């Protein structure tokens, strides 16, 4: 899995789009910058009003380690059916990205539970990535809660969940949760 933030959506039909990447490849597993496009597959997602969009995403194979990666635009969270913006608006009470999301209570509950169970991990990963990049700041200035530590690294402006997901996925640190096995999303 690779998350891209620089891409264009090219309309195929009314609700179907090709994702055209405008950024270079970098394998999350071995950091090699060469991949072959070996195919594509549809990846559906739901918007806040529960309307469905289909993206045609590419399957890439790393020429070095041979791992296969799907290339997802950063509006999505791996294995989640709704777009990132919807999940972001729900997982944090009083989020500054308020959206009314049309989905049932159990889905909202699952998203909150998912985020709460992984937020410490996300904050830790962002910290280790910052250390690797030599960007880590003083320990004493860091906020205590996992969410505030996440915001410390990616900011709290709308899109913070997408900015959290991207570096984790692209560093091969994304964890697949149990519900992912029950869906056929990538």
Binding site for Zn ion (CB under 5 A): 27, 29-30, 32, 62, 64-65
Is the CB of 24 or the CB of 155 nearer to Zn ion?
Answer: 24
* Alpha-carbon span 107 to 114, nearest angstrom: 10
Task: Say which DSSP state 15 is in.
Answer: T
**Cβ-proximal residues to 76 (8 Å cutoff; 6+ apart), any chain:** 3, 43, 45, 55, 83, 84
Q: Count how many Cα atoms sit within 13 Å of the Cα of residue 78 in the half-sphere of its side chain.
A: 23
Residue 25 CB, nearest distance to Zn ion (Å)?
9
Is the CB of 68 or the CB of 175 nearer to Zn ion?
Answer: 68
Q: What six digits make up the tokens of 52?
A: 């469905």
Is the CB of 1 or the CB of 97 nearer to Zn ion?
Answer: 1
Dihedrals φ, ψ of 82, to 5°? -90, 155
Residue 38 CB, nearest distance to Zn ion (Å)?
13
Is the CB of 62 or the CB of 86 nearer to Zn ion?
Answer: 62
Is the CB of 37 or the CB of 65 nearer to Zn ion?
Answer: 65
The answer to whether 94 and 147 have CB atoms below 8 angstroms apart is: no
The residue among 40, 21, 39, 29 whose CA lies nearest residue 62 is: 29
Residue 28 CB, nearest distance to Zn ion (Å)?
8
Residue 1 CB, nearest distance to Zn ion (Å)?
12
E strands, 34-170, where?
35-46, 52-62, 68-73
Residue 2 CB, nearest distance to Zn ion (Å)?
10
């Amino acid at each position: 899995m690779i998350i891209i933030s620089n891409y264009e959506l090219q309309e195929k039909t009314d609700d179907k789009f090709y994702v055209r990447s405008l950024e270079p490849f970098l394998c999350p597993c071995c950091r090699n910058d060469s991949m072959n496009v070996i195919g594509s597959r549809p990846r559906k997602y739901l918007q806040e009003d529960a309307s469905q969009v289909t993206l045609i995403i590419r399957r890439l194979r790393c020429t070095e380690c041979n791992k296969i990666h799907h290339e997802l635009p950063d509006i999505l969270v791996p294995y989640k059916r709704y777009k990132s913006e919807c999940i972001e608006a729900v997982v944090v009470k009083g989020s500054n990205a308020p959206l009314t999301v049309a989905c049932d209570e159990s889905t909202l509950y699952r998203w909150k539970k998912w985020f709460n169970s992984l937020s410490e991990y996300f904050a830790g990963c962002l910290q280790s990535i910052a250390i690797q990049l030599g960007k880590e700041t003083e320990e004493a200035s860091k906020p205590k809660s996992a969410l505030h530590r996440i915001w410390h690294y990616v900011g709290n402006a709308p899109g913070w969940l997408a900015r959290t997901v991207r570096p984790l996925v692209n560093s091969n640190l994304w964890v697949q949760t149990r519900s992912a096995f029950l869906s056929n999303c990538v």
